Structure 1
Amino acid sequence: MPLLPIASLLVSTFFLMAGAGLMGILLPVRGSIEGWSSYQIGAFGTSYAIAFTAGCVIIPKIVQRAGHVRTFSSLASLMAISVLLCAIVVDPYAWIVFRGLAGFALAGCYMIIESWLNERVTNETRGRIFSIYMVVTMGAMMGGQYVMPLSQPQLTVPFMLCAILFALAVIPNALSKAQSPKPLTTIRINLMPIFRNSPVAAVGVLLAGLLSGAWNNMAPVFGEKAGLSTTEIATLVVAAMAGGIVFQVPLGRISDKVDRRYVMTAAGLIGVAAGTAGVYLSGSSPAVLFTLAFLIGGVVYPAYSLAVAHANDYAADSDFVKIASGMLILYGVGTMIGPIYAAFLMETFGPRGIFQSIGSAAAFYAAYSFYRTYRREAMPVDERPDFQTVPLARTQTPASFALDPRAELAEPDETEAPSKAA
């Protein structure tokens, strides 16, 4: 499949994700350097998650009035403005607002890019485009986090670099001759069918969001308080993402052969072990911390994918986009809670509290998954759809699910709908 028709979209995605990766690690580290409390820094993540989820509901209406190109350009500009305001007004409460602005804008940018990509897929090319999109998003986010060590976070330079990346994301789409896609449709939030379809998937996604919100927002704070260099802090965060990438496929393939709830239980227990080890090894060498982060990432990110796969085992093929989109809203609720939960434990027990938050949430994830094995018969293996790898949940909108190969079986009107949370 020629990449030229989607090249501008992928380039915009790369710059957008690199900027998002840099901003996500820069703000917590700078906040910790300023001596702000864990609660204040945790509120950055909660504000982001709330605004991101709100953006999924509001942005489609804006796109219908202003169009895709204008809306995307405006939102990318808003992200650049928000990060520059952080450099100008160094105040934790102002940053809570600025981080929320970025989350709102980022949700819209994701949705617009993904709807554009979806216009260019066919059932034959869907899998390849989805895979390329996954590689670009993950690679860009990891690369963006390594921009921070190039400059000192206590200075304004990394904030300017982040704004430049957001500005660069505008150029490829603004100059593209590609026709704008169909209007985004407004999402309808109805979570009760998700709980009825699969209680363990609904609770699992909520806890996966809590795990992700706790780690993604507070791991940089832990790194700074543990005395790691900026390069080591970036490596700590990237090690977790790498663990999620490495663990996702084997855990998913195993879950295709046995009851997925047993695999969810096992993943949760790995998280408990890693969290417990982290409590006692939080003052260890960077190499030990990177290893723990790798194991934690092997649970934090696949926890979401496994829960979505289990939900789809019991959902009709045509309901894939609707179920997955609703679960992403639940995931967003979890990401709202996670940063504050981790901040509470870090304020109470010191930096090692982040490992306590991971271990306790993973314990609930494992316990509830195992409990549900006694409440419902497992679906026969030959009747379940195969596990599919997905991008990091915090980079998704329900427009992402329209790109997913499983969306081939969805009804036409449903594959056009977007939404998200992170």
Structure 2
Amino acid sequence: MLKSLVPFVSLLLSTLLMMVAFGLQSYVIPVRSVAEGWSTQTITWIATGYTLGFTVSCIVTPKFVLAVGHVRVFVALVTLLSIAILLCSLVVDWRAWMLFRAISGFAISGSYLIIESWLNERVTNENRASVFSLYVMTTMVGGIGGQYLVPLGDPTNTSLFILCAIIFSVSLLPTALTSSPLPAPPTQARFNVLKLYRRSPVAVVGAFLAGALSGGWLNLGGVFTQRIGLTTAQGATLLAAVLVGSALSQIPIGRASDRVDRRVVMVFCGLVGVVSCLAMIAAQGSSPTVLYVMAAAVGSVLFPIYALNVAHANDLAQPDEYVEVNSGMMIVYGVGTISGPLMVGPVMDRFGPSSLFAVFTLCFALYGGYAAWRIMRRDAASGLVAKTDFRAMPVQPVGAEATVVASAAEGTSDVVADTTTPQWSKV
């Protein structure tokens, strides 16, 4: 098995370094924002710039790759990541940061898309699970490691921002110097969100709510840790606990959803989310250890629920529709990530940091409640079409290729994703 992973070493090393810088950036930005005395609403606008750039990139980046190729676009995007974080250190103004964060969102989304496309073209049905499991672990380890760099510096000066830019730049080297064959030029296809909703309302609504939850946490979770008085080290541990909880729960949730109606698992995840968020609210003022445990419980359903919706949408699709379905789901998810911070920010400003989890409680209740209502409205899909297998994906869903891996059956003759062409590029 180790021999089959050799062609992916350079790409995974680039991913690891990029995620270290991304984890550092994701924590140092909210910590510095709070230190500047900006309100949660102001920080929300900065976060909105990031999520907007992230979503636009899902549509625009494939066009750039079509024009000049994967490597050139990847180098350009990672360069933009370095430039954007350096600009944040030079111009400390929330309006400018909104623009800089939009650039970051655009660049990180496109970088993910290229990496996942590249991996998808090189894997086979025999090593697909191994390679993407390693990819999931790489993104998690890198993100957590980057967050723990924040306590080693001072977010109120430029040192951590410069360090972040350096790591982004270094992440280019393994991929830029690799001798591995490049992915084939992409093709294009359309997506139709309205058609997707008519076919699977619960998948579309669930993807939007999953995006709102992940967007709210990824952009305001660091603000939450600062507002409740945690040190940067304690805050990094709490953020890491969410990621670890998510990583540990993906496989059990996926296995359960492969055996029963996925919507039943959605209802269960919604219930777990409601209970864990209420417990998180009740735990305010408790020891950091208690908060870490509660955060891991929230994380156990915060990120994996998106994969459930993608898998359910693919259950109702024909094999030649997977690209269209996954592209549409990514757009819906992206719109959700934009909406999440906009919903949460004003509430946190008015009612305090714990209200973050009050909004999450409502989102999880809507998520599980809508799935329960759809169960009563339509029978399970398993009796109508072949059911695809759930596949784990990065704890932060990022690219359409991840959704393909999460839903395509490995080695199944009648329901198999196309592995000869970059999936995300057919937007």
- TM-score, length-scaled by structure 1: 0.93
2:73 corresponding residue in structure 1 = 71
Distance of 2:258 and 2:360 partners within structure 1: 26
Shift of 1:211: 0.8
Aligned-pair CA distance for 1:297:
0.7
Equivalent runs, 1:9-408 vs 2, <5 Å: 9-186=11-188, 188-380=190-382, 383-394=386-397, 396-401=398-403, 406=408
How many Å separate the matches in 2 of 1:189 and 1:281?
43
Distance 1:383 1:175, change over 3 A: closer
- Once the two structures are TM-superposed, the CA of residue 420 in structure 1 deviates from its matched residue by 11
Paired with 1:252 and 1:287, the residues of 2 have a C-alpha distance of 28
Amino acid at match of 2:108: L
1:372-398 Cα shifts (integer Å, max 9, x gaps): 11100123479523322222243x212
Does the residue aligned with 1:374 lie in a helix, a strand or coil?
helix
Equivalent position amino acid for 1:378 in 2: A
CA distance in 2, matches of 1:190, 1:398: 14
Relative to structure 1, is the Cα distance of residues 25 and 186 closer, same or farther in structure 2, using a 3 angstrom cutoff?
farther
Map of 1:417 onto structure 2: 423
Deviation for aligned residue 1:49: 1.5
Alignment partners' CA distance in 2, 1:308 and 1:400: 10
Secondary structure of the residue aligned to 2:213 is helix
The SS at the match of 2:299 is helix
User: Does the Cα contact within 8 Å between 2:267 and 2:367 map onto a contact in 1?
Assistant: yes
Alpha-carbon separation, structure 2, partners of 1:306 and 1:341: 23
Q: Distance in 1 between matches of 2:420 and 2:406?
A: 13
Contact 2:400/2:423 (<8 A) preserved = yes
Is contact 2:186-2:421 (8 Å) kept? no
Q: What is the Cα deviation at residue 402 of structure 1? A: 5.3
Contact 2:307 2:406 in 1 (8 A): no
Measure, in 1, the Cα distance between the counterparts of 2:141 and 2:419: 32
State the AA in 2 paired with 1:372: R
Asked whether the equivalents of residues 82 and 102 of structure 1 are also in contact (C-alpha less than 8 Å), the reply is: yes
| 1-structure distance, mates of 2:407, 2:276 | 33
Q: Deviations over 1:30-73 (max 9, x none)?
A: 10111101111122222111111211221222223333222211
Distance 1:326 1:224, change over 3 A: same
1:121 partner letter:
V
Q: CA deviation at 1:129?
A: 1.6
Per-residue displacement from partner, 1:136-178 (whole Å, max 9, x unpaired)?
1121112111111111211211111111111011111221223
In structure 2, give the amino acid aligned to 1:417.
Q
What's the C-alpha RMSD, in Å, of the aligned pairs? 2.2
Pick which of 160-169 and 108-117 moved more: 108-117
| 1:234-274, Cα deviation, whole Å (9 max, x unpaired) | 11111111111122222222223332222211211121122
Q: Contact conserved, 2:310 with 2:329, CA < 8 A, in 1?
A: yes
Distance in 2, matches of 1:417 and 1:317, equals: 12
The change in CA–CA distance for 1:414 and 1:334 in structure 2 (over 3 A counts) is farther
Shift of 1:415: 4.4
Specify whether residues 178 and 258 from structure 1 end up closer, same or farther in structure 2 by C-alpha distance, changes over 3 A only: closer
Kindly state the Cα deviation for residue 127 of structure 1 after the two structures are TM-superposed: 2.1
CA distance in structure 2 between the aligned counterparts of 1:198 and 1:46, rounded to whole angstroms: 28
Q: What SS does the aligned partner of 1:23 have?
A: helix
Deviations 1:54-110 (A, max 9, x none): 112212222233332222112111110100111111111111110110111112212
Q: CA deviation at 1:401?
A: 4.3
C-alpha distance in 1 between matches for 2:242 and 2:192: 32
TM (norm. structure 2) is: 0.92
User: Distance in 2 between the 1:402 and 1:25 partners?
Assistant: 29
CA distance in 1, matches of 2:189, 2:396: 18
User: 1:30 and 1:187 mapped to 2: Cα distance?
Assistant: 41
Q: What residue identity is the alignment partner of 2:218?
A: N
Work out the CA distance in 2 between the residues paired with 1:420 and 1:298: 31
Q: Which whole-Å deviations, capped at 9, do the CAs of 1:103-124 have from their partners, x for residues lacking one?
A: 1111221222222222322222
The CA distance in 1 between the partners of 2:375 and 2:417, in whole Å, is 31
C-alpha separation in 1, matches of 2:84 and 2:392 = 32
204-213 or 132-141, which moves further after superposition?
A: 132-141
* CA contact 2:188–2:426 (8 Å) conserved in 1: no
Q: Using the alignment, how far apart are the partners of 1:304 and 1:35 within structure 2?
A: 34
Greater Cα shift, 27-36 or 405-414: 405-414
CA distance change for structure 1 residues 407 and 167 in 2, over 3 Å: closer, same or farther?
farther
Flag the 1:140–1:350 CA change in 2: closer, same or farther, 3 A: same
Aligned to 1:8: 10
How many angstroms apart in 1 are the aligned matches of 2:82 and 2:332? 28
Gaps spanning 5+ residues in structure 1: where? none
The percentage of counterpart residues that share the same residue type is: 44
**Residue 402 of structure 1 contacts residue 416 of structure 1 at CA under 8 Å; is this kept in 2?**
no
CA distance in 2, matches of 1:414, 1:172: 24
Q: Residue type matched to 1:416 in 2? A: P
Structure 1 position 315, deviation (Å): 1.8
- What is the CA-CA distance between 1:309 and the residue it aligns to? 2.0
